[in-house]
Amino acid sequence: MSGNLMNWNFSLVASSGRSHAATSVLELNTQTRAALREKVIAFSEQFLESLPNKKAYESDCYDREAADKHFEITAGSSEVSELLKFINRRVVKPGLRPATSGHLGYIPGGGIYTSALGDYLAAVINSYAGVYYASPGAVRMENALIDWVGQLVGFTGAFGGNLTSGGSIANLTALSAAKQAKYHQGFGLNNYVIYATQQTHHSIHKALRITGLDECVLRLIPVDEQYRMQAVKLKEQISEDLDYGLNPFLVIANAGSTDVGAIDPLQQIASIAEANGIWFHVDAAYGGFFLLTEYGKQRMKGIEHADSVILDPHKGLFLPYGSGMVLVREVQHLARAFRADASYMQDTKQHRDEYSPADLSPELSKHFRGLRMWLPLKLHGVEAFRKNLEEKLALTLYLRSELQDLGFDTGPEPDLSIVPFRFVSSKTDTNAFNRQLLQYIQEDGRIFLSSTTLDDDFWLRVAILSFRTHQEDIDLLIKLLEDFLEKNGCYPL
């Protein structure tokens, strides 16, 4: 049988009074909810309680075939206890465990518990957070968060933004606004010039490709010894490009590069951008929330002149993954990039004075992200976050001096909470020795580190950003490094 719906016959299984057994399976009663919840909560409690003894990294091979059998979706139902057992074995166990205090690789994410409770409520309530008409409360909550972070950045006036799934989508959103604001159709994109550095995050390159801005000329401005953009070189390059008849259009600065944590000279770049009518974008995905500290505020002066800024609450605010934010100094540019109409949405357009998230992002229906950020900020207060970030800066200084005592080369002075390091000795091949050291740490598993390449050399790097990381974790790392050096006859010297 085919044809349209009218040719089909469906029975009203759910029609006899109030007992619609077959379809009501999806609507749980009080007792069933309690039973399920109890098991899920018990599981999460066990996870949290065991965290201090959990390795940050489990290098054991992942048994893909065995796991895939259970990932398969089937017509029948399953027991929650069985599923939790499976999740523990096949999802929680293998690989990196970002929830542990020993996660010091890449940029650690957080996972504060109160944010999980916010997510739980958001999913249960299921407010339609994309449109003001549908949920003025959810939208106002999100906009209040954007106002708060905008003020933290130093924006005033008609700024606006959006809660995104992360920094990559936030960068994409910001660059779409930049294109909308500065690019005039009819002129070839290949006459437009974008300025960045070798430290620019690869999500920017993705965003350039998606927006078509990869057709522009891309200039990587030289960095100084701290891996910060050299403002003088930027200025020189711009005037050279103007002489060529090109159109300088966008400069992308870092407020905390992922690689080494470098903060570009934002104040100087802002002046150069302004003098030349260039869109000034600051990628503060990693570093942005250090603005909560007095040091960060001083160090990132100039960020308030940016045309767009992105920050990752799932980094510096310790939220679980899935939280980024984009801010645009003049919200109209964001609206011009993303506002669209559909006839079936006509009822939602009664509030022209209030932007809805859907007007400022590629998304329409979306997770109610505000609650996972708002609830922890309200429950703990901002001061708790400030103190935790200050502790991360203190740990960075502590680690760096301990590393130097062990004889490590610690590279450029840190701007934030990332420390690259390597052991240099005439007795060993430097790159090979440091690769072995990383492998040693990874096999132990209690601490997880990652590596990078700086000026063609292999470096290990530590990034301190988890709210769970404290001095004992740094001391454990130092102990592991000392053991390795001792085993290899490099310590004590």
Reported in sequence order, the residue ranges of 228-339 that DSSP labels E, i.e. its strands, are: 247-254, 279-284, 308-311, 324-328
The one segment of 80-88, 282-290, 461-469, 477-485 that binds ligand PLP by CB under 6 A? 282-290
Q: Measured from the CB atom, is 107 or 145 closer to ligand PLP?
A: 107
Burial class (CB in 10 A: 0-12, 13-18, 19+), 82: exposed
Q: Spell out, one character per residue from 67 to 106, where the chain touches ligand PLP: x when CB under 6 A holds, - when not.
A: ----------------------------------------
Residue 168 lies near ligand PLP (rule: CB under 6 A)? yes
Buried-exposed string 307-333: b where 16+ CB fall within 10 A, e elsewhere: bbbbbbbbbbbbbbebbbbbbbbbbeb
**For 34-92, what is the HEC assignment?**
HHHHHHHHHHHHHHHHHHHHCCCEECCCCCHHHHHHHHCCCCCCCCHHHHHHHHHHHHH
Nearer Cβ to ligand PLP (95/137): 95
Residue 257 CA to residue 242 CA, distance in Å, equals 28
Tell me if 203 contacts ligand PLP by CB under 6 A: yes
Question: What is the rounded CA–CA span in Å between residue 265 and residue 255?
Answer: 9
User: Between 109 and 485, whose beta carbon lies closer to ligand PLP?
Assistant: 109
In whole angstroms, what is the distance from residue 470 CA to residue 101 CA? 8
Using rule CB under 6 A, residue 119 touches ligand PLP = no
State in angstroms the smallest separation of the CB of 120 from ligand PLP: 22
Q: Residues 98, 102, 161, 324: which binds ligand PLP (CB under 6 A)?
A: 324
Binding of residue 286 to ligand PLP (CB under 6 A): yes
Q: Rounded to an integer, what distance in angstroms lies between the CA atom of residue 178 and that of residue 80? A: 48
Of the pair 107, 474, the CB lying nearest ligand PLP is at 107
Single residue of 98, 160, 166, 265 touching ligand PLP by CB under 6 A: 166
Beta bridge partners of 184: none
Contact pattern for ligand PLP over residues 254 through 273, marking x by CB under 6 A: ---xx---------------
Q: Is 107 in the site for ligand PLP (CB under 6 A)?
A: yes
Q: How far apart are CA 144 and CA 167, in angstroms?
A: 20
Phi-psi region of 261 (alpha: psi -120 to 50; beta: other; left: phi over 0): left
Tell me which of 221, 263, 273, 285 binds ligand PLP, using CB under 6 A. 285
CB of 309 to ligand PLP, least distance (A): 11
Residues that bind ligand PLP (CB under 6 A): 107, 166-168, 171, 201, 203, 257-258, 283, 285-286, 312, 324
